[in-house]
Amino acid sequence: MGSNKPFVMRITDDDAQESGSEDETTSYRLTTGTRFNCPDVYLSESDETDDEMHEKSAPSLLMEKKSVEEGVLCELESEHQLMVKEQLRSKLSSLELSQKIESEKSSFAIDRLEKQSEARRELDRRLDKQYQRRIAEILDSHLSILQRNHEQRSQIEERRIRDDATLEEAKRKEKALIDERLSQEKAKVEAEVRLKAIKQAEAQKAALEAERREAKEAAEKKAARLPETAAEDASKKEFREPKGEENTQPLSIRIIASKAALNAESTRLAIYNGVAGKINVVVQKNLDKHGRQMYKYIKQVGGTVENVVSLCENVSGSFDESAFGCGWAILLIASQVPNVMDFVLAEFHRACIYTVPKHLQASDAASQTKDYWKMLGYREEDGGLESTDEFLNRVESCMKLYAALIQTEIDGVKNPHGLKYGWAWLAMFLNALPANRTTAVALEAFLKMAGFALLRKYKSQFMKVLNVISRRFLPALKQRGEAVNEIVLKLEQYLDDKIYLREPEGRHFRGSLLSKVFQ
């Protein structure tokens, strides 16, 4: 070589090898060039090998020889590049280090946040358990208080119920004692009245037997003296003349009624006679202040009975509506005055024997004297007897009032002669009494007033009774001839039109009715 300056070759490490890891790939080191001095190497152009010749023929890829300035400039430029690269590597390393530090900080912060979150969640769980426990304790305390209050109220209520039961029991016992005392007094009075009635009945029976014996002896004597035709003429004459009837009173009159009805009638008449006798005795005595007050009450009861009887006797107009008002008044008085219901029923039996129910049947025409008709209920007017129409109108009025009485209901007042007695009356009537004009009128009046109430209580049983009337009573009644046509039509209309389904007018009592009737 013509120059003394040695040949310099610079080789970088990144051109020689590559790093296997990510950290080694990002780190680059700059290695300074190594100077090779080869003064003893002889290079001859003639000694060139074929390879060298081949290399000479190809373009040279090595650095061309330059001047000193260019080498210095190149050296400076290389150094500058190396410095820049070194700065870049340093900067990159610092950035990577910063990134790594920041990544570690982030990881640490994330771990710390996760730990804080976990601690917070754990704290929340503990607080939630505490809250749940506190809520359960408060709820348990509240429920305990409620249960205790409920038990206290229950105990108070039980004590109140026991106290009320004790008080009611005491009142009941006291009332039972009073009722027992009253029942004993009532039984004693009834026993006295019954004993007196029995004695009176025995006396009347003895007198009646004596009269019957005398009448029988007189009739036998008369029959022995006169022929049969003369006896008939005499009986007809006695029917026309009021005098001498007592000696010819018919003995062949059959009483048609059930035994229970006759027993009830005799008991009520005995009470009636006993009360009437007491009233007569009281009137004759010199009464003190309390006695006068009692006499006033008795007169009020008597006045009520007289009003009822007068209403039954008054055949003008309709009695349907006022009958329920009268029944209301009778029941109110009966609830305040003992035995007044039996007294009123006895007055019913005296006014109309069909309220028992009872019927008197003469065995022959000779027995149908004036006394017989009076026993049936006919009234004497101007020396004779009232017409049959007037008698039937009075029977109808009595039966309507009786039918209204048995179905009268007042709140807080028990009817001692209620619907069950009306049902018994209907059964005894159909079982015992014959079908004729008078009994048909009584039956039609009773059904017209009480049929609706009996149907509501007895339902199908009452329909069976109506069937008996249709199949048995009406056919027997029609055999009586034209005299019963009117009442037959009424009964058939009652059954065919189903009037028993309609509530009678005036059944719901009007408050002004009492003042109109009993002023």
Q: What confidence tier does 261 reach under pLDDT thresholds 50, 70, 90?
A: confident
Contact 362, 252 (CB under 8 A): yes
End-to-end CA, the chain: 175
Lowest mean pLDDT among 117-126, 350-359, 360-369: 360-369
Q: What confidence tier does 137 reach under pLDDT thresholds 50, 70, 90?
A: very high
Nearest to 448 by CA among 434, 431, 469, 433: 469
CATH superfamily of the domain spanning 253-517: GLE1-like (1.25.40.510)
Q: What confidence tier does 110 reach under pLDDT thresholds 50, 70, 90?
A: very high
Nearest to 401 by CA among 444, 453, 357, 446: 446
Token pair 């003995």 is found at 251
Euclidean distance between CA atoms 96 and 144, whole angstroms: 69
Residue 463 clears pLDDT 90, i.e. is over it: yes
Distance, CA of 40 to chain centre: 140
Nearest to 376 by CA among 308, 313, 425, 438: 438
Residue 301 clears pLDDT 90, i.e. is over it: no
What are the residues whose beta carbons fall under 8 Å from the beta carbon of 273, sequence distance 6 or more? Answer: 197, 200
Mean pLDDT of the chain: 76
Q: What confidence tier does 263 reach under pLDDT thresholds 50, 70, 90?
A: confident
* Residue 513: per-residue pLDDT: 44
User: How many CB atoms are located within 10 Å of the residue 311 CB?
Assistant: 18
Contact 511, 410 (CB under 8 A): no
Q: What confidence tier does 273 reach under pLDDT thresholds 50, 70, 90?
A: confident
Average pLDDT over residues 117-138: 92
Q: In the numeric block, which tokens belong to residue 143?
A: 């429920």
3-state SS string for 241-290: CCCCCHHHCCCCEEEECCHHHHHHHHHHHHHHHHHHHHHHHHHHCCCCHH
Quote the strand ranges of 309-462, DSSP E: 359-362, 380-381, 384-385
**200-249 per-position pLDDT tens digit:** 777 777 776 777 677 667 656 655 554 443 333 433 333 333 333 333 34
pTM: 0.48
Q: What is the dihedral of CA 457, 463, 465, 467, to 10 degrees?
A: 170
Residue 428 clears pLDDT 70, i.e. is over it: yes
* Residue 423: per-residue pLDDT: 95
Q: In the numeric block, which tokens belong to residue 464?
A: 């069976």
Domain residues of the chain, as ranges? 160-225, 253-517
Euclidean distance between CA atoms 232 and 366, whole angstroms: 7
Average pLDDT over residues 290-309: 51
**323-342 per-position pLDDT tens digit:** 888 888 889 888 887 678 88
Residue 316 clears pLDDT 50, i.e. is over it: no
How long is the chain? Answer: 519
Q: What confidence tier does 494 reach under pLDDT thresholds 50, 70, 90?
A: very high
Strand-strand pairing, 253-256 and 359-362: antiparallel
